């Protein structure tokens, strides 16, 4: 399909071009509504997975669903009323055995309207269900969003700042499934500074938002989890080697197994089957070591 022709902006004089290039960052930020605006805002949202934060409009979507639900119920009742009318009429002409030759045309109109409304209703239901499954935006992502608006005041008109006052309605469009341990590590400033990524061309200006590598952070969390698990296993075996009382050995196995299960839960999240399987394997190794 050929694209429609659009007019091009007029050419600017060299003086205007030179004046634009010579402007300082502070001067441009003082007129963020002119030099940044929606182009820079879209760039910020698209610069990282963490920045892709939007409103869910949960209450409004539920209101729309209720409205469509009511419309469907009204149409359904009208259809039933016409069906009942045709059955009660003593004439044999008002049959309901054919869709092509329906003696009551109104039923065809109602069915057509029901089909359109049901399609809209089902589509909104499915999209809303998918939307509700996405996690709420993390506090640091909301902070990044506020920092951007603070750095570029009035870049977006206040009447179009739809995040203001609706922080609890914001969600992350592309969530990353992370363990509790990995999420905890992200709250440690030293680690965040270590795993910060280099500024790319599609990132915000320096100091506006923080970017770090999720892959590096997850790798660090996995490595620390492995070290902790091996440390607990080898440490317990060495400890058992120097404990001779049966009750003390049982207490050691009970305590270390409990700690291992809690650590595994923090590393794997809410996966009870996997946590129990790993804990059982850990306890089995200790019992086998104890029996020798």
**pLDDT tens per residue across span 194-251:** 666 666 655 666 656 666 666 767 777 777 778 887 887 788 877 777 777 778 877 8
Among 4-13, 65-74, 79-88, 213-222, the range scoring the smallest mean pLDDT is 213-222
Least confident of 43-47, 75-79, 93-97: 93-97
Q: C-alpha 96: how far from its chain's center? A: 49
Q: Is the pLDDT of residue 14 over 90?
A: no
pLDDT confidence bin for 63, thresholds 50/70/90: very high
Q: Which of 287, 246, 243, 280 is nearest to 260 (CA)?
A: 280
Closest by CA to 115, choosing from 90, 79, 64, is 79
For the chain, what is the mean pLDDT?
Answer: 81
Alpha-carbon distance 89 to 24, whole Å? Answer: 83
At residue 64, the pLDDT reads 95
Token pair, residue 28, equals 């441009």
| Mean pLDDT, rounded, for 148-168 | 88
| pLDDT at residue 255, as a whole number | 83
pLDDT at 186: 66
């Amino acid at each position: 399909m050929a694209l429609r022709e659009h007019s091009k902006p007029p050419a600017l004089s060299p003086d205007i071009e030179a004046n634009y290039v010579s402007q300082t960052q502070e001067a441009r930020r003082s007129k963020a509504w002119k030099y940044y605006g929606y182009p820079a805002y879209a760039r910020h949202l698209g610069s990282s997975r963490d920045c892709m934060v939007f409103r869910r409009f949960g209450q409004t979507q539920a209101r729309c669903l209720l409205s469509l639900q009511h419309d469907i119920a009204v149409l359904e009742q009208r259809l039933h009323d016409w069906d009942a009318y045709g059955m009660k009429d003593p004439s044999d002409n008002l049959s309901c055995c054919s869709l092509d030759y329906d003696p009551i045309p109104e039923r065809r109109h109602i069915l057509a309207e029901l089909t359109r409304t049901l399609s809209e209703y089902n589509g909104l239901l499915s999209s809303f269900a998918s939307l509700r499954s996405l996690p709420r935006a993390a506090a640091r992502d909301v902070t990044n969003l506020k920092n951007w608006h603070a750095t570029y005041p009035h870049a977006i008109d206040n009447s179009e700042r739809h995040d203001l006052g609706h922080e609890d309605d914001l969600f992350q469009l592309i969530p990353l499934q992370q363990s509790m341990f990995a999420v905890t590590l992200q709250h440690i400033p030293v680690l965040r500074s270590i795993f910060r990524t280099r500024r790319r061309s599609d990132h915000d200006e320096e100091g506006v938002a923080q970017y770090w590598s999720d892959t590096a952070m997850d790798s660090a969390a996995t490595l620390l989890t492995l070290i902790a698990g091996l440390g607990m296993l080898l440490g317990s075996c060495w400890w058992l080697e120097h404990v001779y009382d049966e009750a003390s050995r049982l207490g050691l196995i009970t305590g270390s197994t409990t700690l291992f299960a809690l650590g595994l839960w923090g590393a794997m999240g809410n996966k009870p089957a996997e946590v129990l399987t790993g804990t059982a394997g850990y306890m089995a190794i200790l019992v086998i070591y104890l029996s020798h």
